[in-house]
Amino acid sequence: MIIPRRPLSLWERLYLPAVWGGFKITLRHFFKKKVTMQYPEERWTVPAGYRGAPYLVRDQDGRTKCVSCQLCEFICPPKAIRITPPGPQPNPGVGNVEKLPQEFEINMLRCIFCGYCQEVCPEEAIFLMKDYSLSGHSRAEMIYDKERLLALGGTHQDQHQKWKQKAREAAAQGIAPAPEATP
């Protein structure tokens, strides 16, 4: 079926009314409240529970909370985490915690911000924080190492400090040596 096109009237062919209509809309918005955001100078306040980049944390005593159990490395769906365990050499600084990762890397190009690492961590050592826009000049720069992750993660107030508590309990029961972790 062919629908014949209606020829434009003289008023329509003038175009000026349509242009004027457009100006009117623009003018109306000109005095309204602005909705665009001046990114990156201006940023979203992300809602609570937002899943951004995962970082490592220290507790209020400055102890690296991660004990290198490698559960996050195992659970991570895109295999973004790579942990180097400490090996058998004794580390006097870690006390009764015994273990600390020698290296801990997260490949932020791989990470899908799923939060499994935070969920699986038995030590509350890794948290998905609010960072959502990560950038770098090279791929290597996007692999965050332990120091960088700890610096970005900051301090986490630990309610329990179970290792410290264990060391104190043992010492009170006369079990020596009862080393307490030194940061």
Positions in the binding site for ligand SF4 (CB under 6 A): 54, 66-72, 75-78, 80-81, 83, 106, 111-117, 120-121, 123, 125-126, 128
**Is 67 an interacting residue with respect to other proteins (CB under 8 A)?**
yes
Q: Does 97 bind other proteins (CB under 8 A)?
A: yes
Using CA atoms, how far apart are residues 83 and 124, in angstroms rounded to an integer?
16
Evaluate the omega torsion of the peptide bond into residue 4 and state whether it is cis, within 30 degrees of 0: no
- Residue 46: how many other CB atoms lie within 10 Å: 13
99 binds, among ligand SF4, other proteins, none (CB under 5 to 8 A by kind): other proteins
- 3-state SS, one letter per residue, for 78-125: CCCEEEECCCCCCCHHHHHHCCCCCEEEEECCCCCCCCHHHHHCCCCC
Q: Is 132 in the site for other proteins (CB under 8 A)?
A: no
Query: Which residues are CB-contacts of 66 (< 8 A; sequence separation ≥ 6)?
Result: 56, 100, 101, 104, 121, 123, 125, 126
179, 95 contact by CB (below 8 A): yes
- Name the one range near other proteins by CB under 8 A: 50-58, 96-104, 107-115, 138-146: 96-104
Q: Per-residue contact track with other proteins, 136 to 175, x per CB under 8 A?
A: ------------------------------x--xx--x-x
**Separation CA 106–CA 145 (nearest Å):** 7
User: Would you state the structure tokens that stand for residue 6, as one six-digit string?
Assistant: 């209606």
Site string for other proteins, 17-56 (x = CB under 8 A): ----------------------------------------
68 interacts with other proteins by CB under 8 A: yes
Q: Applying CB under 8 A, which residues contact other proteins?
A: 67-71, 73-74, 85-88, 90, 96-99, 122-123, 166, 169-170, 173, 175
